[in-house]
Amino acid sequence: MRVFVVDDDPVMLNILSQTLTEADGYHLEMYTSAEAGVEALGTSEHSYDCVLLDIMLPGMDGVELCDILRKSDRYAATPILMITGSSEVALMSRAFTAGATDFIRKPFNTVELKARVQMAGLLNQSLAENRHTMQDLSDQTKIQFEEPIDLGLDGMCSALALENELLRYRAHCFAMTMFSFNVVGLRGVYRSATAPAFRACIDLVAAAATSVLQSHNTRLSYLGQGRFVGVIFDRHRHDKQTLTEELNIRLAEIWDVDTTGIPVPLEVVFSTVAAQRLWSGHSASDALRTFIAVADGISDLTVDVEDDLFSRLNKELSRVT
C-alpha cells in the first residue's frame, strides 16, 4: 500500500515510519513541506492509496494541499487523512470543505493510526473497483456507430420488419415513395458524446421524423451510421427539399440541450432511394435490401458526396427493379 505523507515534525514522521512498516506492506513517501509534496506528486510515476497531511505546515498548509489534490483527476477520490492536534471546529470544517476524508489526532494512537490507514486503503480499492465496473458497464452499453437500432416509436420498426411488411404485398402492385435521410455530422457526436447522449440524439431525430410524417402512411427504420430509410405508402410525390426543411424545423423545436449536451440542433438531409412510383412487394423488398447493403458501406461523408452516391444508387435500383 503506497502512502503519501506531508508533515514537518520529524517525531511524527518517525512514528509513522515505525508504525506503517515495509514488513506490513506499507510503502511511505514522506515530505516536510506542502511545496515539496506538490513537486514530488508532479513527477511521480506512482499513484497513492492514501494521503496523510498535517494541517499546520509552514508556507502552504495541509488544507490548501488537500484542495489542490482534489482538483486533480488523479487524486479526486483518493482517501486523504488530515493530521492535527487541534480540535478547532472551523479548521476541521475548512478541511472537510477542501475534500478531507477523515482526521487523525496527535499524539498518535498507533493502533488507531494503523486502523484508519487500512480503512483508507480498503476505501481506495473499493473506489477503483467501482470505477472499473462502471467503465465495463459503459463499454458494454455503448452503442456502436454502425449499429442499427429498433427505436420502438410508433411508425418505426427494424429494417427486417420493414422488409417483411413489403413482402406481404408480393402479389400486388402499389404506389409508394422510398426515401432515406442522413443525420449530418453524427459521427462527430458519437466520438465526443456519452452513450446516453448519443442515443438521445438518435431518439430526438426519430421523434421529429415521425412527427413530421405522421399524416402520411409511413414506416421508418434506423440503419445505423446516422441513416434512416422509410417508405410512404401513397400516390403523392414528396419533395425531398420540403421534407428536409420540415424535419429540421421540427427537430429544432424539440431539441433538448440537457440530454444531448449539444447546444445546436443536428440537421438532416433527405434523399430519394428510387424514382420508381409503382412497386410489387418483391421489387420493393429487393430495392430496400440493395439500398441497405450499399448504405452500409458509406462512411461519414459530406452532403455533396453522399448525394452523388445516392444518385448512383438510384440508377442501380432502377436496373434492379
pLDDT > 70 in the chain, percent:
84
How high is the pLDDT of residue 110? 83
Please tell me the predicted confidence (pLDDT) of residue 258. 85
The model's pLDDT over 136-163, given as tens digits with 9 standing for 90+, comes to: 544 444 567 888 887 878 888 888 888 8
Bridge partner list, 231: 178, 219
Tell me the mean pLDDT in the region 10-39. Answer: 92
> For the segment 55-111, what is each residue's pLDDT rounded down to a tens digit?
999 999 999 999 999 888 888 888 899 998 877 777 778 888 888 888 888 888 888
Report the C-alpha gap between 56 and 62 in whole angstroms: 6
Q: Check for a shared fold between 2-139 and 159-320.
A: no
Q: Which residues contact 78 (CB under 8 A, 6 or more apart)?
A: 47, 48, 49, 50, 51, 69, 124
Q: What's the confidence (pLDDT) of residue 253?
A: 94
Q: What CATH topology corresponds to 2-139?
A: Rossmann fold (3.40.50)
- Rounded CA separation 96/81 (Å): 10
**CATH classification of 159-320, choosing from 3.30.70.270, 3.40.50.300, 3.30.450.20, 3.20.20.10?**
3.30.70.270
Q: Which helix (H) or strand (E) holds 120?
A: helix 110-141
pTM: 0.50
Per-residue confidence (pLDDT) for residue 300, from 0 to 100: 44
Highest mean pLDDT among 21-35, 137-151, 265-279: 21-35
Name the residue ranges covered by the structural domains of the chain.
Answer: 2-139, 159-320
pLDDT value at 259 more than 50:
yes
